[in-house]
Copies of this chain bind each other. A is one copy, B any other.
Amino acid sequence: MDMVSLRYTSKKPKLKNPILIEGLPGIGNVGKLAVEHLIDTLKAKKFAEIHSKDFPPQVFINPDGTVKLANNEFYYWKAKKKNQMDLILLTGDYQGLSSNGQYELVEKILDIAEEFGAKEIYTLGGYGLGHEMESPKVLCATTSKNLVKSMKKHGAIFKKNEPGGGIVGASGLLLGLGGLRGIQGACLMGETPGYLVDPKSAKAVLKILMKVTNVNVSLSALEKKAKEIEHIAHQLREMEGSMSKEKSEELKYIG
């Protein structure tokens, strides 16, 4: 039994030089939100899933009372126009728990990418700033200097040696290990406070990805979610405000 196993859930699709787009859970869940939004709006079709012994030993409960084993899922979408490419979309419940599990998971994803002839990988994630910002920028890192140029044209930002801690997890490894296999790619990191799920940052990331892929989707559902989250964030700040006020009043009684 391998640590990571792939299972086709439908017939293998025939894809032509597809682009792989990854969005697994991470800071602000930016990548996962973005890829799930693409899957929903493009009506992409699920064709395979990955299980790993390095995912938590867990099933989730579906709304109908049945269970779903923790997994990663592959969807595909076929190009409608000449200037588009077929897409493989990857999202899921977890990344690997351990270093070893992360490497094994990413090697398996790259196996799929190679099997379907993917030449490019775009990985989506968040870049946690730890504070609020007006409009999130999208940082980028790539496997080659050529891609740096083209990503800049599409509006992605490159800051020298940033993120300082590099990119940890599947979004980084897919580029690092993919590069060793000769697969080009870029990581798009939407700035995010990092406290809550961040649809606004996911929207910023998708805006650039839409330019890269010439695939345009409505972002209104993300905008709606963003407003809901902003409302929640506002309420949390108010609660904190009143609590710290109470606290400082309490403190006055000491001494």
Contact = CB atoms under 8 A, between A and B. Distances in A.
Contact of A103 (B57, B141, B160): B57
Contact of A59 (B7, B100, B161, B167): B167
Nearest to A68: B176
Interface string A179-196: 110000001000000000
A58 interface: yes
A69 interface: yes
A72 to B, nearest CB: 14
A172 B63 CA distance: 16
A67 B100 contact: no
Contact of A177 (B66, B69, B100, B169): B69
A175 interface: yes
Interface residues of A, number: 60
A162 B62 CA distance: 9
Contacts of A61: 141, 161-163, 166-167
17 contacts: A1-B103, A1-B107, A54-B99, A57-B172, A59-B173, A61-B161, A61-B163, A63-B160, A64-B148, A65-B158, A66-B141, A66-B148, A67-B172, A67-B179, A69-B173, A69-B176, A97-B99
Interface of A: 1, 3, 7, 51, 53-61, 63-70, 96-97, 99-104, 106-107, 140-145, 148, 158, 160-163, 165-170, 172-173, 175-177, 179-180, 187, 253-255
